[in-house]
Chain A
């Protein structure tokens, strides 16, 4: 089975719940600077870039806390 993270940056609201969830799952603390997913803000455009560090092995945690479907976890046989 393969897992993918589907990303839709145009739906991202910039809430960064994914970054908090990621650091908490990996390290047991809340700290966006330790997150493997990074949301960069283009504040005056209302847009956000979704990036990942090379250490990210897609799991479903960030997608689980994304309330606007900018991140979707997809599993395929």
Chain B
């Protein structure tokens, strides 16, 4: 087998049994790898109604076929399990070196089942699997854990995925840390790892990744490089990374802050805009095989955080602690990064809990009696850092915050529900659906993992202007000559774009984008714009065919993306998500911003049209029997009926 290793490693922590399973070519053809195969394994192995923190949940790490090769940005690992935060399919993606190392160990997927009696960590040394005692690591932060493991295995190049205290304490949004500075952050899969008493997975591999047609692969690889490196977003991304978008979104007037209570003002962009990054950035850092290298090595040379150095300052943490919680100091974002990385908690939901609590405090719905006497204020750096500590340790008021916003309002009651700025359990990066309605914001309703912004992104966004207020079916298109360069199939382009009216059909484009991002997350490459905007199913099919020797047409690749979307929805349906649960947080319908709020009926009309495009039943949001048959998923249909 080429590209793929063909092997899945299964570790049952209850019995201590370690086994390997061969994955057939048909599975790779139908689900590509990474997220796709993870989703297939989850649906097959886990009853969607299980307790996410019980022994029955499984934790799946998966890398795509391109991972381990020189294909640009081919370093991503998707981690999948049932989420303890949303109750839906949990999936979270991260890059750097861990994924390639799993491949060099001889595996495409690692499935962790059951629960160990006491803390353990797993060391996979080039295919040799050892389960080691981790009692001495329990209670340690992630940086300390990583250092200790590297020391005891006497190799600083070993790649380590681990949990911090947050995962041990089953914080509902605990992250799995990916080395010192990366994380599988979203949907709380660090708590699933903690529930299994698994502290870390350390990897060292020396096996080959082989190629079916080396000349053909190299040719496709060069085309991939050329497309990415000549894309207009390439150079700005090298300089500013994700911080590039802070200024773009601000200029569009779409950002809201303080738990999405009000639009952000000039003070935000002056202190948190991208130019501020350059005060701290010393150099670029890259994930394996990436020509962009979008991450920043930052060093803080003065002020209260003097001496701090790390890889960090991204748009996500800037929006979370800057926009959502009110911090106006980029050096403090670096400090927050150190803390959430060490504690092992997701920055977005941590900030979501803190921001919600702050708004409820200011509204008098909770008081000092609830908060351990703390007076909650916007932008109070020491207070926010103290709350992060309390969350990770589930100490006092932190125990409530550690449940995440949806459970917080359920427990608090007293009308707190109205302040919820989460969509289906997750928060976005503060680009507010009330201030701009587009594919991006519609995506919060259909994203399989809950309502964040990272799984339905458009490769053809017009970020210069927005559609008029009240328009729900369309967003404005980029110029026709820009669209001409984007790899969207002709028949899809005809449904999506209307160049006479300069519009993009949101339901059609959302379906295309959702499938496309499933493909990207299954191949194991990055979703950053220089990649997502410049590539499509055609080049992916060539890379796949030349690498693996399995014949993929562009339509086969697209269809695999669609198949993944369909099985993810089936999992969520079985986990209990109904059509009527596919909605935004109450705040977005009920509290206007700049005089605008979402119209529930109009939103539902777009959703119905999306179901029609998908050939899903609008009442249940489930694929029709015809759609399942078309995707070779006919067997799932009979299951659903029973």
Which residues of chain A have a CB within 8 Å of any CB of chain B? Answer: 10-11, 13-17, 20-21, 24, 27-34, 40-41, 43-46, 65, 67-68
Query: Closest residue to A46 on the B side, CB-wise?
Result: B297
Asked if residues B229 and A67 are in contact (CB atoms below 8 Å), the reply is: yes
Asked if residues B286 and A15 are in contact (CB atoms below 8 Å), the reply is: yes
Residue from B97, B100, B214, B283 whose CB has the most chain A CB atoms within 10 Å: B283
Asked if residues B70 and A43 are in contact (CB atoms below 8 Å), the reply is: no
Complex contacts, A46 vs chain B, CB 8 Å: 282-283, 285, 297, 309, 311
Complex contacts, B179 vs chain A, CB 8 Å: 43
| 17 pairs of residues in contact across A and B, judged by CB atoms under 8 Å | A13-B285, A13-B290, A14-B286, A16-B97, A17-B290, A20-B70, A29-B210, A29-B211, A30-B68, A30-B211, A31-B207, A31-B208, A40-B156, A43-B180, A46-B311, A65-B70, A67-B229
Which B176-194 residues have C-beta < 8 A from chain A? 179-181
Interface size of B in residues (CB-CB distance below 8 Å): 35
| B293 within 8 Å of A (CB atoms) | yes
Give the shortest distance, in Å, between B73 (CB) and chain A (any CB): 9
Asked if residues B209 and A30 are in contact (CB atoms below 8 Å), the reply is: yes
Proximity string of chain B (289-301) to chain A, C-beta cutoff 8 Å, 1 when within and 0 when not: 1111100010000
Asked if residues A20 and B283 are in contact (CB atoms below 8 Å), the reply is: no
Complex contacts, A67 vs chain B, CB 8 Å: 229, 291-293
Asked if residues B286 and A30 are in contact (CB atoms below 8 Å), the reply is: no
Proximity string of chain B (524-547) to chain A, C-beta cutoff 8 Å, 1 when within and 0 when not: 000000000000000000000000
* Contact status of A15 and B157, CB under 8 A, knowing A29-B208, A46-B282, A67-B293: no
> What 8 pairs between A and B have smallest CB-CB spacing?
A46-B297, A15-B286, A29-B208, A13-B286, A67-B291, A13-B293, A33-B206, A30-B209
Query: Closest residue to B97 on the A side, CB-wise?
Result: A16
| B284 within 8 Å of A (CB atoms) | yes
Asked if residues A33 and B104 are in contact (CB atoms below 8 Å), the reply is: yes
Docked CA distance A27–B117 (Å): 45
Complex contacts, A20 vs chain B, CB 8 Å: 69-70, 288-289
Query: Closest residue to A22 on the B side, CB-wise?
Result: B70
Complex contacts, B68 vs chain A, CB 8 Å: 30
Give the shortest distance, in Å, between B144 (CB) and chain A (any CB): 12
Complex contacts, A15 vs chain B, CB 8 Å: 286-291, 293
Complex contacts, A32 vs chain B, CB 8 Å: 100, 104
Docked CA distance A28–B206 (Å): 15
Point out the residue from A11, A14, A16, A30 that lies within 8 Å of B69, measured CB to CB. Answer: A30
Asked if residues A16 and B289 are in contact (CB atoms below 8 Å), the reply is: yes
Query: Closest residue to A21 on the B side, CB-wise?
Result: B70
Docked CA distance A14–B97 (Å): 10
* Contact status of A68 and B70, CB under 8 A, knowing A29-B209, A30-B208: no
Asked if residues B70 and A30 are in contact (CB atoms below 8 Å), the reply is: yes
Give the shortest distance, in Å, between B407 (CB) and chain A (any CB): 36
Residue from B210, B285, B292, B311 whose CB has the most chain A CB atoms within 10 Å: B285
* Contact status of A24 and B70, CB under 8 A, knowing A15-B293, A31-B209, A32-B104: yes
Docked CA distance A45–B69 (Å): 27
Complex contacts, B156 vs chain A, CB 8 Å: 40-41, 43
Asked if residues A31 and B206 are in contact (CB atoms below 8 Å), the reply is: yes
Give the shortest distance, in Å, between B42 (CB) and chain A (any CB): 28
Which B50-86 residues have C-beta < 8 A from chain A? 68-70
Asked if residues B289 and A14 are in contact (CB atoms below 8 Å), the reply is: no
Docked CA distance A65–B131 (Å): 38
Further 15 A-B residue pairs, CB within 8 A, beyond A20-B288, A30-B208: A13-B286, A13-B290, A14-B285, A15-B286, A15-B290, A16-B97, A24-B70, A24-B211, A24-B214, A31-B209, A32-B104, A34-B208, A46-B297, A46-B309, A67-B292
Complex contacts, A68 vs chain B, CB 8 Å: 284, 286, 293
Give the shortest distance, in Å, between A23 (CB) and chain B (any CB): 8
Proximity string of chain B (267-284) to chain A, C-beta cutoff 8 Å, 1 when within and 0 when not: 000000000000000111
Give the shortest distance, in Å, between B3 (CB) and chain A (any CB): 10
Docked CA distance A63–B309 (Å): 29
Query: Closest residue to A29 on the B side, CB-wise?
Result: B208
Complex contacts, B289 vs chain A, CB 8 Å: 15-17, 20
Which B90-108 residues have C-beta < 8 A from chain A? 97, 100, 104
